[in-house]
Amino acid sequence: MLDFSGGSGPPFSRLPSDGTRGGAGHDAGAGPGGAQAGGASACGARSEETRLLRLLAARPPALPALVVAAAALALIGGVARVLWEGHALFPGGTAGWSFAALTGCVVAHLVTMSRDRWWGGTGSGPALTLAILLLHGWVPALLVSLAVVALVGAARRHKWRQALVHGAIDLLGIGVASLALAVCGVRPSVEQPWGPDAWSLAAVAEIPLAAALYLLFTRGLQWFCFAPRTRGLPSTLRTALIRQGLVGVALLGIAPLIAVVAYHKPLTLPLFAVPLIALDSTLRIARARAEEQLRDPLTGLPNRLWLLERAWAALEEAERTASRSALVLIDLDRFRSVNDTLGHLAGDRLLLQIAERLRAALPRGAEAARLGGDEFAVLLPVADSTTSAQRVARNLVSALGSPLDLDGLTLVLEASAGVAVYPDHATEAEGLLRRADVAMYEAKRDRTAVEVYEATRDGNTPDRLGLLADLRRALDAGEVELHYQPKVGFDGTVSGLEALVRWVHPERGRVPPDEFIAIAETSGLMPRLTEYVLETALAQVARWRAGGLTVPVAVNVSPRDVHSPGFAGAVAARLARHGVPPGALQLEITEHVLLEDPQQAADTLAGLTGHGVKMSLDDFGTGYSSLVHLRRLPVSELKIDRSFVARLAVDTEDAEIVRCTVDLAHSLGLLVVAEGVEDDETWERLRDLGCDAVQGWLVAAAMPPGETTAWLRAREVSVNRTLPAAPPPAHTP
């Protein structure tokens, strides 16, 4: 006897109905990149899923109706045969009334359950059905199952259609188990029950056989009738099989005991209601825990494991129909500051509001999941094009960006989203998730809200991964070089040099700095590259100072370097080790360092200037910093980006921007350096605007150390400020 309490889908088919809209349906899954072992298991799951989906596609559309018709014929035929042969339909006396009382307890338990459950959630009904089948044959078992269908269906009228089909499947399962017993020579009836006294050694195999066939037939037919064609199957099927194994053990353990008690002491039969209900409760708890593995406990949304299972099914369907699917990865900007300021409880409440907004903003057919922290994902099983997927992502970001209310406090949390499309960007679920993650970080870094994955910007393509490995080896071998470009005042004084990294690959030739620096920034190699550049530059400065050339050198550092703990102390220790005064080193930062955590950046830079290191703000005008941030940063120099300098002589707007920048910097006590100066006219305009120094091809290109030394000596270089005396070199073992 199946659980007729409602539900018509396979395990966890209701999961997304609580958390997403328009579709069925910290961290049990792999990360966006996916592990190799996970990839192998995913391939196996995909193959398994493909076979199952093809099987589902072959089922007749009217299968539930056919099942009900077949069960009705079996019931009518069985009852008619029993009556024709003059046998009783149900045991009478104490045994009959005791079975009726126990059936009533089971029905009451099913009716009063607080939530609809799938057919695999109960063990009480099958145990009772199998016990009656073993003792009195299949007709009394059919009548008990039919009674439960009628009573539970009447109590839950909105589920009567599902109850009818479930009951029909159960009737057919009873018939299959009865046939198995008949093949073994066992034909119990009301008049001639198969009592324990008649059980021989063969019963040890016959009873498990009947139970196994009953379970396999009913559960298999149930799944075949109701499983949807487009949901993730392997994980849920494995979970269901485990649960059905528990049901099978319960059947083997309880059903024969019920038959023994009913045969010898039928009056005590209703007492079995207690262990049967306890069995149901145990299975319900096991099912709830299995569901929790696929659901985020805070928001109620599905989690990463569910998303990957569902994505595999969506991609399989997209491949079958030659259509597109898309995955949108969404991350909240600066959410960490909310947790730090208001506390984690307030952060959790905000995440609940974000989850509700995400549910409400989902387009039809889309499904959402929470991957952990402030990261969410939206699966679009069908996407018309990359443009339409990008449009959906923008709508979601816009919905999440409207003001939120938290105890009267109005908060605005912006979001960044990355979009990856099947089959354009990836052909498997883990790859799609990883590439959406890459696009999301591009959107977050560039402050563009939404980005679509581009292979040219992905540091993890095979070609770029190979280049990353080569760069790591080149750093270890000291094959990366530094060239130096002078910064010169309008009086001809050399105010400093900028160290620029250069790499000649043994096979690829000269690799553009923008290319390998971007790889280093996205791979975690950037701190190693910065360490290498600082070490090489300071060693060169020490050699120049030993030869009488006291020119300062500027080194570029990334936002990741500035936000690394202990960065200021490490720079100071390296200066002392080389015997270079702090004033001989200048660190160049960009405005991007201000975006994530301006206060932390200011603290780190203050620590550097406290050691005597000078700071320069590079590429000014291309970032997103405010004047408030500029005032707070302890920089002594501001560099105007070459994009404004290049058209200075022909574009009045660029000229006005440069003039305002120079006036602003001077009002804050900063020196101004213009980059990219390549002609005399630009030089003259910059001098007239009050710029302090220039850098570019007009002065000199970036040169290797030897050429730089010759260039400096040819001009008898002098520095336009006095450097403090160098500290004594630190003792190194």
DSSP 3-state of 384? coil
Identify the segments of the chain with pLDDT beneath 50.
1-43, 45-46, 114-121, 229-234, 624-626, 717-733
For 415-445, give one letter per residue: b (16+ CB within 10 A) or e.
Answer: bbbbbbbbebbbebbbbbbbbbbbbbbbbbb
**Token code pair at residue 567:** 């960065």
pLDDT, residue 157, reads: 61
Q: Using CB atoms within 10 A of its CB, is residue 726 exposed (0-12), middle (13-18) or buried (19+)?
A: buried
Cα 99 from Cα 94, distance rounded (Å): 9
Q: Given this chain, do its domains 304-460 and 463-710 carry the same CATH topology?
A: no
Asked whether 693 and 658 are in contact (CB, 8 A), the reply is no
Residue 700, Cα to own-chain centre: how many angstroms? 49
DSSP 3-state of 678? coil
pLDDT, residue 545, reads: 93
- pTM confidence score: 0.47
- The closest of 242, 255, 252 to 283, measured between CA atoms, is 242
- List, in order, residues 6 or more apart from 697 with CB less than 8 Å away: 677, 678
Cα 415 from Cα 380, distance rounded (Å): 19
DSSP 410-464: EE---EEEEEEEETTT-SSHHHHHHHHHHHHHHHHHHT-SEEE--GGG-TTSHHH
pLDDT, residue 596, reads: 60
**Token code pair at residue 569:** 């102390």
Q: Point out which residues pair with 405 in neighbouring strands.
A: 410
pLDDT, residue 426, reads: 86
Cα 702 from Cα 501, distance rounded (Å): 10
Cβ neighbours around 216 below 10 Å, total: 14
pLDDT, residue 726, reads: 42
Sheet of 450-452: strand order equals 367-372, 375-383, 324-332, 415-422, 450-452
Cα 506 from Cα 403, distance rounded (Å): 54
Cα 703 from Cα 726, distance rounded (Å): 26
Cα 162 from Cα 31, distance rounded (Å): 39
The domain limits of the chain are: 62-293, 304-460, 463-710
Asked whether 130 and 23 are in contact (CB, 8 A), the reply is no
Q: C-alpha distances in angstroms, 471 versus 447, 630, 732?
A: 28, 34, 28
Cα 352 from Cα 679, distance rounded (Å): 58
**Token code pair at residue 454:** 């581009």
**Token code pair at residue 671:** 């020196």
Cα 554 from Cα 376, distance rounded (Å): 41
In CATH, 463-710 is 3.30.420.10: no
Q: Torsions phi, psi of 611, nearest 5?
A: -85, -5
Cα 256 from Cα 34, distance rounded (Å): 48
Cβ neighbours around 331 below 10 Å, total: 20
Cβ neighbours around 391 below 10 Å, total: 15
Cα 296 from Cα 309, distance rounded (Å): 15
Q: Point out which residues pair with 693 in neighbouring strands.
A: 489, 673
Q: Which class is 304-460 in CATH?
A: alpha beta
